[in-house]
Amino acid sequence: MDLSLQTRNEGDWTVVAVGGEIDVYTAPKLREALVELVNEGRFQLVVDLEQVDFLDSTGLGVLVGGLKRVRANDGNLRVVCTQERLLKIFRITGLTKVFAIHESVAAATNA
């Protein structure tokens, strides 16, 4: 399964809806998308992982890189995820302390 990316605007936020598998092979595509958004001046990002089937440490690295980039511009990157198998990865790596993880896009954009 490949990686799918769909971007839309919701108010001040840009929502990146990700689908498929984020791994060592596909993660560069997500990295490029996030870098491009930041280069376009979009610093308020929500990454929606609800349609993601698989996430590994490379994908986490891309999200951390995205967070660093937006924070360097006084922005924010919030994550939407309710899948226990993905949340477990955030917990094991200690990244639940780094990312604001929300149950829905609405919750993320209104937090």
Q: Which residues bind other proteins (CB under 8 A)?
A: 21, 23-25, 27-28, 31, 54, 56-58, 60-62, 64-65, 85, 89, 92-95
Pairwise CA distance, residues 29 & 47, whole Å: 14
Q: For residues 15 and 62, which CB has a smaller minimum distance to other proteins in the complex?
A: 62
Q: For residues 9 and 82, which CB has a smaller minimum distance to other proteins in the complex?
A: 82
Q: For residues 13 and 31, which CB has a smaller minimum distance to other proteins in the complex?
A: 31
Other C-beta atoms closer than 10 Å to the C-beta of 84 total 8
Please name which of 53, 58, 40 lies closest in space to residue 86, comparing C-alpha atoms.
53
